[in-house]
Amino acid sequence: MKSLVFIVAGYLLAHSALALDVGLTPNRDYVDVQHNGKSIRLQRIQDQEHALTGSFAKTSRSCPPFCIQPIQVAPGVTTVGEVEIFEFMENQLRDGSGLLIDARLPSWHQKGTIPGSINIPFTVFEKSDLDPELVSTFKQLGVTERQEEPGLVEKLLAGGDVNETWDFSNAKELILWCNGPWCGQSPRAIRGLLKHGYPPEKINYYRDGMQMWQILGLLTVQ
């Protein structure tokens, strides 16, 4: 019996020693997320003396173009924070029903991105319906081109408002982000998506972006 007590005590001691001093939330130390086919463990920097340096430590940029963005980027679009992203990673991103989109230009994306993100620059969503790059991107988002006009039943189910170019019935839920509250790239991407008819209830906006992600000491990948 004593040996069993020692084994259990040792197990609990070992696991308590593995607990992080700087967790993500009170009940979550890390999130495992797939990035480019590899499993990445997302957690915060454990050095509590760490301070941000580099371009994301800047507090001021010329406006325009780097103007402060509103909390609600468009009607029907939900603004989310980091905790909601963790939950999204563990659910929609894991089961394939959602995508985390880095809407910045490739030059920014290559410097570092949020794990699990794919890079689709905002400029893609500003292209015309017939543009091959937009068509290819929409397929990635679960959106298909209509081969025929929507039927009466579909119009009735949608309350009469049905996009005649795109079929959004299997569209993925999205979180779009860019460099921070002063960055207009993801808001432009969201407005482009809405212009094409993407359902606003399937779009989320991470306004804090890369600047706040790094201020919180969260992992980035290149």
Which 3 state secondary structure label does DSSP give 120? coil
Residue 145 lies in a domain: yes
Residue 194 lies in a domain: yes
Q: Residue 190: pLDDT above 80? A: yes
Residue 116 lies in a domain: yes
Q: Are 56 and 180 in contact (CB under 8 A)?
A: yes
Q: Are 188 and 126 in contact (CB under 8 A)?
A: yes
Q: Residue 12: pLDDT above 50? A: no
Q: Residue 9: pLDDT above 60? A: no
Residue 30 lies in a domain: no
CA distance 87 to 94: 10
Residue 56 lies in a domain: no
Q: Tokens 């005649």 belong to which residue?
A: 164
CATH for 207: 3.40.250.10
Render pLDDT for 17-61 as a digit per residue (tens, 0 to 9): 467 899 999 999 999 999 999 999 999 999 999 999 988 999 999
Q: Are 72 and 61 in contact (CB under 8 A)?
A: no
Q: What is the pLDDT of residue 118?
A: 98
Q: What is the pLDDT of residue 51?
A: 93
Cβ–Cβ contacts within 10 Å for residue 22, how many?
Answer: 14
Q: How many domains does the chain have?
A: 1
Render pLDDT for 106-141 as a digit per residue (tens, 0 to 9): 999 999 999 999 999 999 999 999 899 999 999 999
Residue 166 lies in a domain: yes
Residue 7 lies in a domain: no
Amino acid at 146: R
Render pLDDT for 79-106 as a digit per residue (tens, 0 to 9): 999 999 999 999 999 999 999 999 999 9
Q: Are 109 and 102 in contact (CB under 8 A)?
A: yes
Phi and psi angles of residue 129, each rounded to the nearest 5 degrees, phi first: -55, -30
Q: Residue 2: pLDDT above 90? A: no
Q: What is the pLDDT of residue 158?
A: 52
Q: Which residues contact 141 (CB under 8 A, 6 or more apart)?
A: 99, 171, 172, 174, 198
Helical segments of the chain, H only: 2-18, 82-90, 92-95, 106-109, 132-140, 152-157, 185-195, 209-215
Q: Containing domain of residue 211, as a range?
A: 61-215
Q: For 177, what's the count of Cα atoms within 13 Å in the CB-facing half-sphere?
A: 25
Residue 23 lies in a domain: no
